[in-house]
Homo-oligomer: A and B are copies of this chain.
Amino acid sequence: MITNRKIILMNRPTGKPYKTNFEFTEESLQPITNKEVTVKTHYLSVDPYLRNTMRKEKFVGPPAPLGEVFGGGAVGEVVETNSDLFQKGDYVSGHWGWQTYANVEDNQITKLNAELAPISTALGVLGIAGLTAYFGMIEIGKPKAGETVVISGAAGSVGMLAGQIAKIHGARVIGIAGSNKKNCYLKNELRFDGTINYQATTNLKSSLQQVAPNGIDVYFDNVGGNISDAVMPLINSGARIPISGQISQYNLEKPELGPRIGMFLVKNNALIQGFAYMQYESHFPYALETLSKWIKDNKLKYKEHIVEGFENTPKAFEGLFSGENIGKLLVRI
């Protein structure tokens, strides 16, 4: 008999999510039915977007239900199977959330080839983060050689990939992140052309002007708020602004005030587009093939921030909102 540990959403936060929003429970796993498999979780994904599923109202997807397992992406190993498609020992990815085991239908999971790439990459560079960076940058940002691309949340899982994809296309890439440690990584390891520590600058706009003297052609935004306020006056004619996320706004109950952006858009014939990777589902195979090739050719590096232990998942999630991680945040079980 397998004992499954689960993290249950107990109540919805006001402001920052906190560990008291969650409760740990245990249960004996039910036997699997036809076409189901039992997976044992190896890695859980911890992502900013999950904050938006904690809201009472719909936000992109439906609200996460109270009293049920919280979370999103996970990878693991098949330990029991009633499906022709999967054998014991197969590695798979899916969306079974924050639990140590799960019974899932065979059409809800994807088989992973552990020889091609570490299985954890299915939650990062070869999963949501990579696809989000790829489609936002390629389909909306469309960076051209010589253009200036600015990335907010540049040391996050999506931001660091988006910046490297822009560099592959010949752009000059400036990363905005919240610590010198993050920026050293972006400059020394990922060869970003410039970085700004927004926590250490008193005038973000003039710091940006210094590192982006020719203005900004693409702004890949993961953050919003004050950081975007500094970017908008510096955008060039024809600028493209993919919005992947707005982490600075996720803990607010209603929109805060900021300088209106309409005039910057009119003046520069500029485009802003909120997007989600799922909009581009039909292009997933080509995108994943391209990302894999870039990794193999050493053009694209990825970084994982791995927290050990299921019990530390809520704390790791809290840490996302104080900028503790560099790269993709995972919990290893």
Chain A residues within CB distance 8 Å of chain B: 52, 59-60, 221, 224-225, 228, 243-246, 249, 252, 254-276, 279
Task: Check A262 against B275 for contact (C-beta < 8 Å).
Answer: no
Main secondary structure of the interface of A (DSSP, over half): mixed
For A257, the chain B residues whose CB sits under 8 A away are 257-260
Task: Check B276 against A263 for contact (C-beta < 8 Å).
Answer: no
Whole-angstrom distance between the alpha carbons of A221 and B261 in the complex? Answer: 13
User: Could you pull out 9 A-B pairs where Cβ atoms are within 8 angstroms?
Assistant: A52-B267, A224-B260, A254-B259, A255-B260, A256-B260, A258-B259, A265-B274, A267-B274, A270-B273
Residue of B nearest to A254 (CB): B259
Contact of A258 among B221, B228, B260, B274 (CB under 8 A): B260
Number of this chain's copies in the complex: 2
Q: How far is the CB of A129 from chain B (nearest CB, A)?
A: 16
Question: Knowing that A221-B262, A265-B274 are A-B contacts, what are 4 other residue pairs whose CB atoms are under 8 Å apart, sorted by A's residue number?
Answer: A249-B260, A257-B259, A261-B261, A269-B275
Residue of B nearest to A271 (CB): B273
Contact of A59 among B258, B267, B274 (CB under 8 A): B267
Q: How far is the CB of A260 from chain B (nearest CB, A)?
A: 5
For A256, the chain B residues whose CB sits under 8 A away are 259-260
Residue of B nearest to A140 (CB): B271
For A279, the chain B residues whose CB sits under 8 A away are 269
For A249, the chain B residues whose CB sits under 8 A away are 260, 262-263
Residue of B nearest to A239 (CB): B274
Q: How far is the CB of A15 from chain B (nearest CB, A)?
A: 15
Question: Among A60, A262, A268, A279, which residue has the most Cβ atoms of chain B within 10 A?
Answer: A262
Q: How far is the CB of A246 from chain B (nearest CB, A)?
A: 4
For A255, the chain B residues whose CB sits under 8 A away are 259-261, 263-264
Residue of B nearest to A272 (CB): B272
Whole-angstrom distance between the alpha carbons of A19 and B288 in the complex? Answer: 61
Task: Check A246 against B272 for contact (C-beta < 8 Å).
Answer: no
Whole-angstrom distance between the alpha carbons of A273 and B140 in the complex? Answer: 12
Question: Among A228, A263, A267, A279, which residue has the most Cβ atoms of chain B within 10 A?
Answer: A263
Whole-angstrom distance between the alpha carbons of A221 and B263 in the complex? Answer: 12
Contact of A225 among B252, B260, B267, B269 (CB under 8 A): B260
For A272, the chain B residues whose CB sits under 8 A away are 265, 271-273
